[in-house]
Amino acid sequence: MGKVIGIDLGTTNSCVAVLEGGQPIVIANSEGGRTTPSIVGFAKTGERLVGQLAKRQAVTNAENTVFSIKRFIGRRWDDTEAERTRVSYTCIRGKDDTVDVQIRGRTYTPQEVSAMILQKLKQDAENYLGEPPTQAVITVPAYFTDAQRQATKDAGTIAGLEVLRIINEPTAAALSYGLDKQDQDQTVLVFDLGGGTFDVSVLQLGDGVFEVKATSGNNHLGGDDFDNALVRWMIDSFRESEGIDLSIDKMALQRLREAAEKSKIELSNMLTTSINLPLSRLTTRALSIWKWS
Amino acid sequence: MIEEENQLKNAQRSETDTSEDVQQVESETMPDEATVQNSQEVASEFPTAESELEEPVTEVVAEPVEAEAAAQPVEAEAESLAIAELTQQIESLKAQVEERTGQYMRIAADFDNFRKRTQKEKEDLEQQVKCSTIVELLPVVDNFERARSQIKPQTDQEMNIHKSYQSVYKQLVDCLKRVGVAPMRSEGKEFDPNLHEAVMREATDEQPEGTVIEELVRGYLLGERVLRHAMVKVATAPEPVITSDEDYQGESDG
C-alpha cells in the first residue's frame, strides 16, 4: 500500500508532505526547496515548466506563464473581472462560464493547470518515497465554495491522484499543532499569512471535530506586499538622502527586492537587521514592520 | 457437635483407607487418582474407628469402579478435544508467526530503504552545506568585481592599495576554484531556466530571440550543481509584442 501524501496547493507556493512515524515530513523538491512556486510556464519548444523553473523564465515569457491559478479555479467568469486584470496571461471564457487560460493557441482549464502543479509535487514525492503515491489529501481555503472544492478535487484526479479528502487550510493548521488531541473544547484563531493572500479563521473544536465558525481576510495581501513596501521605503529614503531615484534602474530595483525579502526573512527571528548593498546602506528597524502586526 | 464432626472425619478417613486398597489395585492404570488419595490420607489428622463404617466402604468401592468404566470414553473425548484445541492453537500461532514474519520483512525492507535514503540524504546534505556556505561568500566576490569596475585609482598610492586588495580578490577566486566552483559563461547562449533567471528583456535584432544578451549577476556552478543562477537580460523579437517601459528601461541601463 502506497503512502498518502498531503498537499498544500497554494496561490503562490505549494508544498507536499508525508507522514513518517506519525510525524509530517515536508518533501523537498528536485531543486532542494521545501516549497514549489505554483507557476506553470509553457516554453517555445512546447516544454512545460513547473515551479522554480517556470518562475525563472517568467520575465522573458510573461504571456505564457500562468501564476495564481488558484484565484480562478472553480469560479465563474463574471466573478473574476478584477482578478483577470492582474494577470499577464490571456484568460478566455470557457464553457459553463469557467475561466480558462489560453496559451499558444491552446486552452487549459484551471483544473488542468493545477493538475500540472500537482503532478510536479507528485513526482517530487515519488523521488523521495521511491514509489509513486496514489492517494492524496489536499487543502483549500475555508471560504472555498463547493464548486471550487470539486474543481480542486478534479485537478487531483487529472494528476493521477485519488483525493481522499479536501481539508480546510485552517483545520489542517490546527491539526498540525495537535489541537484535536487535547481533550477539551476550545475556540482557535488561525492566522494564515501567505505569499499573496491573508486568511483569518475562527475554529471551534469539540470531540475532535473542527468547525469553521467564521473566515475572513484579504485576498491581495501577503509576504510579497511586505517586500514591495520595503522596496518603496528604501527607494524613498535613498532619494531623500542621495537625491538619486533608484526606481528607474531595473537592475537596482531587482537587487533591492531581493535584499528586502532577505531582510524580511531575517526579521522573523531577529529584532533588527541591516540591508547592505554597495549602492546604498540602509538600516531597517524591525519595529517598523512589527509595530502593526 | 464435636462428636458429629469427629464421626464425619472418621468416616472420611475410613473411606480413604478402603478406597486406597481398591486404588492400589488400580493404581497402575490410574496413577493420578492414587496420588490424590495419598494426599488425602496425609491430610486427615485423626485416628480412625473402623468398626462403625462398614457401609460407606462398600459404597466407595463401588463408585470408583463405575467411574472407571465411564472415564474411558470421557477421556478419549477429552483427548480429541485437547488435540483439536492444540491444533487450533498451532494454527493461530502459525498465523501469528506468518504475520510477524511479514511484519518483520516489511520492517526490514523499510529499514533498508531508510538506510539507503539516509545515505543519499547524507551525501545530499554534504553537498547542500557546501553549496549554502559558498553561496553566502559569492556576494563578496561580486563586490570585489564591482569595486574593480568602479574604482579608478588616480595616484600611485591609490593604485597600490587597489592592486593589493584585488590580489586578495584573486586569492579568493582561486580558493573557490579549488573547491570546484566555476562561473557560468552565459552571454550569447540560449536562455535556459535551469541555469538562468531572467530579470529583464530587450528588443533587439542583433541576436536571435531567447539569447542571453548580458549577464547582470554572474551565475556559478559547483560541479554539476547550480550554486547561483545567473541573472540575465534576454533578447526578444525586434518588434516587441508588449511595448512596456520595461524594454526602454532595459536599454537605458544597459
Q: What's the whole-number mean pLDDT along residues A228-249? A: 85
| DSSP-assigned states of every residue in B113-178 | HHHHHHHHHHHHHHHHHHHHHHHHHHHHHHHHHHHHHH----SHHHHHHHHHHHHHHHHHHHHHHH
Contacts of residue B65, Cβ cutoff 8 Å, sequence gap at least 6: B22
With beta carbons under 8 A apart, name residues in chain A contacting B241: 63
3-state helix, strand, coil in chain A (%, to 5): 40, 35, 25
User: Which residue of chain A is at minimal alpha-carbon distance from B229?
Assistant: A56
Q: Which residue of B has its CA nearest to A51?
A: B193
Class of domain B182-245: mainly beta
Contact criterion met (CB < 8 Å) for A63 and B241? yes
What are the pLDDT digits (tens) for A9-50? 999 999 999 998 888 899 999 888 899 999 999 988 889 999
Smallest CA–CA separation between A34 and chain B, in Å? 13
pLDDT above 70 covers a percentage of chain A that reads 94
CA-CA distance, A100 to A95, in Å (whole number)?
A: 9
Pick from A73, A69, A72, A77: nearest CA to A97: A77
SS3 content of chain B, % helix, strand, coil (to 5): 65, 15, 20
> Could B198 and A254 be called an inter-chain contact, meaning their C-beta atoms sit closer than 8 Å?
no
CB contact under 8 A, A60 and B229: no
CB count, 10 Å around CB of A191? 12
Percent of chain A at pLDDT > 90 equals: 55
A interface test, pick of B114, B199, B215 with most A CB neighbours within 10 Å: B199
Q: What is the pLDDT of residue A78?
A: 93
Distance between B200 CA and the closest CA of chain A, angstroms: 6
Q: What is the DSSP string of B35-72?
A: HHHHHHHHH--S---GGG-HHHHHHHHHHHHHHHHHHH
Residue B16 is predicted with a pLDDT of 47
**How many angstroms away from the CA of B177 is the closest CA of chain A?**
23
CA distances from A201 to A13, A173, A184, A194, A211 (A): 20, 11, 19, 14, 10
**Residue-range domain boundaries for chain B:** 83-179, 182-245
CB proximity list for A163: less than 8 A, separation 6 or greater: A135, A136, A137, A138, A152, A153, A156, A157
Tell which residue, A58, A61, A63, A62, has the closest CA to residue A37.
A58
Reported as a single tens digit per residue, the pLDDT across A142-170 is 999 999 999 999 999 999 999 999 999 99
Q: How far apart are the first and last CA of chain B?
A: 126
**A287: confidence class by pLDDT, cuts 50, 70, 90:** very low
Minimal C-alpha gap between B143 and chain A (Å): 7
Which of B143, B147, B201 is closest, CB to CB, to A60?
B201
Q: Which whole number is the average pLDDT over A266-287? A: 66
Instruction: Please give the grid coordinates belonging to residue A47.
Output: 516544454
- Closest of B49, B63, B64 to residue B11, by C-alpha: B49
Residue with cell 501577503: A222
Q: Which of B198, B231, B253 sits opposite A60 (nearest CB)?
A: B198
Please give the average pLDDT of every successive group of 10 residues along chain B, which has 254 residues: 51 48 46 48 48 49 54 81 93 94 90 89 88 89 83 86 90 92 89 88 83 88 89 78 44 36
Measure the CA–CA gap between A244 and A247, rounded to whole angstroms. 9
- Nearest CA among B80, B76, B68, B78 for reference residue B29: B68
- Amino acid identity for residue A28 in this structure: A
The C-alpha cell of A198 is what?
491573508
Record the cell numbers describing residue B139, joined without a space: 556576494
Q: Are B113 and A250 in contact (CB < 8 Å)?
A: no
In degrees and rounded to multiples of 5, residue B253 shows phi and psi of -105, 10
Instruction: Answer whether B242 sits within 8 Å of A130, measured CB to CB.
Output: no
Minimal-distance CA residue of chain B relative to A246: B253
The answer on pLDDT for A249 being more than 80 is no
> Which of A41, A56, A130 has its CB closest to that of B113?
A130
Taking an 8 Å cut-off on Cβ atoms, the answer to whether B193 and A53 are in contact is yes
Query: What whole-number distance in Å separates Cα of residue A22 and Cα of residue A25?
Result: 9
pTM of the model: 0.70
CATH class of B83-179: alpha beta
Pick from A99, A195, A105: which is nearest to A151 by CA? A99
Q: Please compute, for residue A283, the number of CA atoms within 13 A of its CA located in the half-sphere on the CB side.
A: 4
Count A/B contacts: CB-CB distance under 8 Å. 56
Question: Residue B252 and residue A254: Cβ atoms within 8 Å?
Answer: no
Contacts of B128 in chain A (CB under 8 A): 32
Chain B residues with CB under 8 Å of A126 CB are none
CA–CA–CA angle B181, B184, B185 (5° rounding) = 140
Distance from CA of A56 to the nearest CA of B (A): 4
What is the C-alpha end-to-end distance of chain A, expressed in Å? Answer: 45
Whole-complex ipTM: 0.74
